[in-house]
């Protein structure tokens, strides 16, 4: 029996993309331990089941689900949104965390023919957010957290898919600027305090598989990054705070392009076109 001194269980339903390992798994584990209904996401069923079993064993929670979708396919992104909406009558928090960093090899394309890093890190989350937005609005107060990066580079709208001069870090950095630009633009378009959207650079070179494979070393722990994400997910003092960029737990300033209304408008229109978003889904 829970004593009066124990914290009340978290009744929220929270979807975290890319939550089968690394930062996403750490965030999911903490939220499951708090009592929240946690919707895991991954593209590999074996790893998703392993994460599901691990969280259930460590937290004792029976409020964990997992969903499979390859975010390099916009069709699968749409299916993921449909499944979440069909299975749950509310969604209180969406954490757009999944991402890739291609450290070796040349330019690669998504299943839809878009530059792969841009497609997975940004475009998939643009579409997922827009498809789930009605459910988030019905569940308000609700929060959207976009996991970005301090590594940022401006988008060249004449070569968004980097057909000229492809470089892996540039691909990654422009995808993260796109996430932040989307954060700011969506916050402005929603114009409501009960559905907030913020972006965060959790920590620099966290000890994850992607970082070790790309850089060979880590600088910070996954736990430090998870704390920054969890603050945006749950902190009472951030209620109603929207359209901001954070580095760790403090508000910061993103790349200057993110504050350019014309650049944000161009990105939004491009994203609608590339994702096939219909007018009925626009805020």
Q: Which residues are catalytic?
A: 172
Cα 153 from chain centroid (whole Å): 19
Are β-strands 142-147 and 195-201 bridged in parallel, bridged antiparallel, or unpaired?
parallel
β-sheet with 195-201: strand ranges across = 64-68, 37-42, 13-16, 93-96, 142-147, 195-201, 245-247, 250-252
**Tokens 């070569």 label which residue?**
159
Annotate the chain with three-state secondary structure. Answer: CCCCCCCCCCCCEEEECCCCCHHHHHHHHHHHHCCCEEEEEECCHHHHHHHHHHHHHHHCCCCEEEEECCCCCHHHHHHHHHHHHHHCCCCCEEEECCCCCCCCCCCCECCCCCEHHHHHHHHHHHHHHHHHHHHHHHCCCEEEEEECCCCCCCCCCCCCCCCCCCCHHHHHHHHHHHHHHHHHHHHHHHCCCCEEEEEEECCCCECCHHHHHHHCCCCECHHHHHHHHHHHHHCHHHCCCCCCEEECCEEECCCHHHHCHHHHHHHHHHHHHHHCCCHHHCC
- Joined together, the tokens standing for residue 169 give 């870090």
């Amino acid at each position: 029996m829970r004593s009066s001194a124990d914290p009340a269980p978290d009744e929220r339903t929270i979807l975290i993309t890319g939550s089968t390992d690394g930062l996403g798994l750490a965030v999911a584990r903490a939220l499951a331990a708090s009592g929240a209904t946690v919707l895991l996401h991954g593209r590999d069923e074996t790893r998703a089941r392993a994460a599901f079993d691990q969280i259930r064993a460590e937290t004792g929670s029976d409020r964990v689900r997992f969903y499979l979708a390859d975010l390099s396919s916009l069709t699968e992104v749409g299916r993921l949104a449909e499944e979440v909406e069909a299975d749950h009558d509310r969604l209180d928090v969406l954490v757009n965390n999944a991402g890739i960093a291609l450290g070796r090899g040349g330019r690669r394309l998504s299943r839809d023919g878009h530059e792969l890093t841009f497609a997975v890190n940004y475009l998939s989350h643009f579409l997922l957010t827009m498809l789930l937005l009605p459910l988030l609005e019905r569940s308000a107060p609700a929060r959207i957290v976009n996991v970005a990066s301090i590594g940022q580079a401006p988008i060249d709208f004449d070569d968004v898919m980097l057909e000229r001069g492809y470089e892996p870090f540039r691909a990654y950095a422009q995808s993260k600027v796109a996430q932040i630009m989307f954060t700011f633009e969506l916050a402005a378009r929603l114009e409501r305090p009960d559905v907030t959207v913020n972006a965060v650079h959790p920590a620099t070179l966290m000890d994850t598989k992607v970082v070790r494979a790309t850089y060979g070393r880590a600088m910070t722990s996954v736990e430090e990054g998870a704390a920054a994400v969890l603050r945006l997910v749950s902190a009472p003092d951030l209620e109603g705070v929207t359209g901001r960029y954070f580095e760790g737990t403090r508000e910061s300033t993103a790349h200057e392009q993110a504050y350019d209304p014309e650049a944000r408008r161009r990105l939004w229109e491009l994203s609608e076109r590339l994702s096939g978003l219909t007018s009925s889904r626009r805020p």
